[in-house]
Amino acid sequence: MDQLIPSQVKIIDNPDQEELRELSLKHGLATMKSYYGNILKLTRNKARKAEWTYIIAPPSESSKYSSKVITSQQAGELIEQAKKYMVEQGIMIRIDGYIGIGERAVGVTWFYDLEVSNIAGMQQVLAFPREIIETPEQLEKPFKNQLTLVFTAGARAVGMPGDQAIIVDLENYVTHVIGPDYFGESKKGELRMFNEYVYQRGGLVLHAGAKVVKLAEKKISVAIMGLSGTGKTTTTFSRQGEGTEPIQDDMIALWPDGTFSITENGCFAKTYGLTEQSEPVIYRGTVHPDAWIENVFPNPDGTYDFSKNILSPEEVDRLKKMLLLTGSSEENLNKYISGEVKSSEVVDEYNIPQDGWDFVVWTQNGRSIIPMSAIENAADFQKLPDLGSLGILNRDEGSDAATPGIVLFSSPEQAAGYFMLGETSKTSAAGKERGKTRSPFTQPFFPRNYSLQPVRFKELLANFSKLQTWLMNTGYIGGDARDLELGNALKVKIRHSSAMLEALFKNIIKWKLDPDFNYYIVDVDNPENKNLIEQVPVEILNPYIYFKNNHREKDYQNWVQKMKEAREKFLKQYNVDPKIIQAVIN
């Protein structure tokens, strides 16, 4: 560690959660204690900055990686800037722990400057502690880690966009986060290295939540892939079968021997729209005093408003000090508070603010870190059943949203293709952009060329012979939220998703081949599907019916053609196996 942290820097070695809360309130910017007793932090960055992430490699090898590359010389200069900042500050926090549990647990050491003591606390919650991984003999010795992350939020990567940079040294499994104050950069930083670590050992990491579902006398583990905002956490913590036991909400690893392993000892949940009625486990975990909160709107009494949208001038005035600390323009704040500028003048019809006026619309990318000890009915990590079901979520949205509510893949190649596509609609976590997006295996953490993923997945699937693979639409049919208000779209609600998954896991759905895409969809004409149809509209189960009933059959056929062309183009750009491509477009 001497080369990573200058010797003159004092290390606060593995402080406990109480100490980290005290450090957060003392040193953190825009940080407060909530009514519930947990810590809320408002950040400058409201999402991860993939465009500011660089892997150390020669420019000639850039095609081997999913991120931009940076030369070792330039990376070294930026890291030296961060070291100079560490020396000036004089103190760093050290956290030791593990990704995962059992024999395949991977040791990680994280270092943080005092400004982001809250991130140290959040990461410590998600890590498995040494005490449950190591033997008494190992605990008496210095910690041995495989991965290291150094996080200096107060440093500046001079000369780089935004004065920020995330520098990834894959060869030595070290990441330097310089400038950001957003927890996702810590989480992604260690999981990116973990992806590389697992891949080099013949496995593959999936961006997937996981839970144990009890079906009669049998239990299976279920994994759910999905980009941010698709409902991955919601689906992971919803109930199916005779009982559901949450495992985690973000990452699992598949191994060549047909087993899987988990990664985190807690939950990283999206909080926008959170209610106790819709997501009781996540809600109660979020208001638990042991949780850590990021970018949720604080009411005057310290409670949270999980659905805050446009801020009033009075609300901006109340939070002015914190908004200034997170980078808002004082001039713009004053104009809004005084009434000189109104929200309608700087926010468009989709509630997207103009540059410089982001504070007017509260971010929907609020998050909570919840320890598994605060999660009700959590699974026993020491006794997890085999992985029996693996799916992907697509939050379809827009006038051409026509993805069926539930799809069963007809072959391993087809599953590999759709997982490679990683389709969904962009959400608040993607910033101000809208529209459809594709992210291979919903996996922004995989550091090497994405084309490696479907090849490895297909290889691994041969060792998971009984694995059920599927796709679920968690968005809309025929429109978006605005269309829904006008009666021109259908919403796939949480209760619809739970009903579809319940029937899927129990293997009671009667399927038919979709004539356009050759995957299986629910046969809505089969009387044995009566119970499911009573819970889920047939137009969600088979969107063609919705478009036909609304005299939009041409729109549906155009969607089919457009999707086949776009999917083929996307897969070909990553040199995906032609057999996988054919399984997707035929």
Per DSSP bridges, beta strands 243-248 and 174-178 are unpaired
- Per-residue confidence (pLDDT) for residue 307, from 0 to 100: 97
Query: 557-580, pLDDT tens digit by residue?
Result: 999 999 999 999 999 999 999 999
Q: Are 250 and 263 in contact (CB under 8 A)?
A: yes
Bridge partners of 149? 110, 175
Rounded to the nearest integer, the mean pLDDT of the chain is 94
Instruction: Give all strands (DSSP E) within 428-467, no chain letters.
Output: 436-438
Determine the Cα–Cα distance for residues 365 and 293; give it in Å rounded to an integer: 11
Question: Half-sphere exposure (CA, 13 Å, Cβ side) for 424?
Answer: 31
pLDDT in tens, 467-491: 999 999 999 999 999 999 999 999 9
The answer to whether the Cα torsion of 515, 520, 521, 526 is positive or negative is: positive
The pTM is what? 0.91
Which of helix, strand or coil describes residue 449?
Answer: coil
pLDDT of residue 1: 46
Q: Answer whether residue 216 shows pLDDT above 90.
A: no
Q: Coil, helix or strand for 163? A: helix
CB 283 within 8 A of CB 273: no
Beta carbons of 180 and 49 less than 8 angstroms apart: yes
Find the length of the chain. Answer: 586
User: What is the reported pLDDT for 242?
Assistant: 77
pLDDT at 431: 45
**Other CB atoms closer than 10 Å to residue 554's CB: what's the count?**
9
Which domains, from first to last, does the chain contain?
Answer: 10-201 (3.40.449.10), 205-267+375-585 (3.90.228.20), 292-367 (no CATH)
Task: Check whether 311 has a pLDDT greater than 60.
Answer: yes
pLDDT tens-digit series, residues 1-13: 458 999 999 999 9
For the ranges 79-93, 294-308, 341-355, the lowest mean pLDDT is seen at 341-355
The pLDDT confidence band at residue 249, using thresholds 50, 70 and 90, is confident
